[in-house]
Amino acid sequence: MMIVIIVFTVLALDQFSKYLITNNLSLHQSVPVINGIFHITLVHNRGAAFGLLKGQLYLFMLASLGAIILIGLHLKQQRGKRLDLYTFSLTLILAGALGNLIDRAMFGHVIDFLDFRVWPVFNIADSAITVGAILLGWKICIRSSAK
């Protein structure tokens, strides 16, 4: 049940934030929150992370769908077990992949808006994927160093 709550919460925050941004900013419009450090900037990302491989919509959708299915099947096996770091990290990755897949399916691009000026613009789904991947890597390193 906790997995469903986490996925729903991350997905709802991601989609609602994108809805707010797209209804209040025009494409490439930037609003400083902390001038020169953090801005809200509406960008349409037609590629993968950092805009790589632009124009490969169906490849990204297929890869996302594959990851979602594999993670979903794995998490289904975890049902009823305690939510550990491994499961939590996969849950974040699943939620983020779903959020960006929804964008690609509905708009043909991912809506990005968090702009720290020293890093490519990203969104909440990207953040969930990144945090999940870092936690997963950490968990794997802990597990392998314990052997």
pLDDT tens track for 5-26: 999 999 999 999 999 999 999 9
Domain containing 41 equals: 2-145
- Evaluate if residue 98 carries a pLDDT over 70: yes
Q: Give the per-residue pLDDT at 99.
A: 97
Residues in contact with 5: Cβ distance below 8 Å, sequence separation at least 6, in sequence order: none
| Tens-digit pLDDT profile for residues 101-146 | 999 999 999 999 999 999 999 999 999 999 999 999 999 888 777 6
Would you call 89 helix, strand, or coil by DSSP? helix
The number of folded domains in the chain is 1
Catalytic residue of the set 14, 103, 115, 126? 126
Other CB atoms within a 10 A radius of the CB of residue 16 amount to: 11
Query: What's the confidence (pLDDT) of residue 78?
Result: 82
Tokens at 92, concatenated: 């974040």
Given the residues 14, 103, 112, 115, the one annotated as active site:
112
Catalytic site includes residue 126: yes
- 28 sits in the region (left: phi over 0; alpha: psi -120 to 50; else beta) called left
- Catalytic residue list contains 84: no
pLDDT digits (tens, 9 = 90+) for 34-90: 999 999 999 999 876 655 667 677 888 999 999 999 999 999 988 878 889 999 999
Contact 21, 40 (CB under 8 A): yes
